[in-house]
Structure 1
């Protein structure tokens, strides 16, 4: 079975922030792609590399897969403009919800660092290639994800082959957390998930947060249903 990776370039924090800002201001389609092209031009000599980077930025902040409503994307851009100090949270949620390979890599990082705040690159590579295949394309895509996390200052690289988590970002705002709950559901490509499962996900390692039922009322696309001792979240 052919695996679609999609995450085929590394990204910089300012590229993501500027793209999100344009989306929040209603810029889309060809106009958005043209603006991203101009943004990237000073940093690239290869047209192919620039095109791939532009397409990835456009994919994160503008392209809509069938299972994601436009309101989710709109709210992400609007919340980012209102809470710009949490911009990484919104980039994270968008990448989780739209790029399964990105989610797979960060999920494995979360597992590897659950008891220790560092991991060996070789351990991560072994886990990813077991799931996706031991190919040069998979290994390059994994490197692009790692470099992106480095550029976003979520990982440090104190020694060759060793990566370390940086201090987590505390997230208490209920509107932001409710949006992340929605992102979690879309990342699994389902229509419902238990709140316990969402809280237990390993993908949240860059953040210090806890989702509770009261957060859900801050997102009118979420419905909460009690089931035994858990809450099931529907979108």
Structure 2
């Protein structure tokens, strides 16, 4: 299976990319600076550009079976994820597979958040600024599309080694307020492998 990756040089993206290669996927990556891939550049097909560059994105997704994104937020482009989502909806075929990272503070229909998580979501909406508004808008773009999308919602991301212990659910957040990026990277690939949570935004956290 051929997979396209956006955000491969970030910390979560590196973990996800390593897991894809470990599981034997044929991978193409979109990067602004190929040098940031290091030795991994020899193991993937590299497309240089940004996720809002139509030409680069067209080249990236051509012939792919799925697109995975670990694109992080940036204050320089507060609507980056929404613009990227709109472009993917245009470029991918009907029922094309997309798996990306959102955030546990984002609310979607059907959520079963407890008081603590509701307060956290409220504070994020009030204090997060324009970058935080990008994620709900991204969700709305995918939800209105005909893609087979999944937006995974983790809590605070940590930089330790994988624990192999996570919990995930379509509607209810886990008790843990964090997850290792390495565990998240593995979970994103498992979502692809097992066809999990199609057209849903599951919560995932450390176990």
**TM-score, L = length of structure 1:** 0.27
> Whose strand proportion is higher, 1 or 2?
2
Q: Normalising to structure 2: TM-score of the pair?
A: 0.29
Which has the larger Rg?
1
**Structure whose residues are more often helix by fraction:** 1
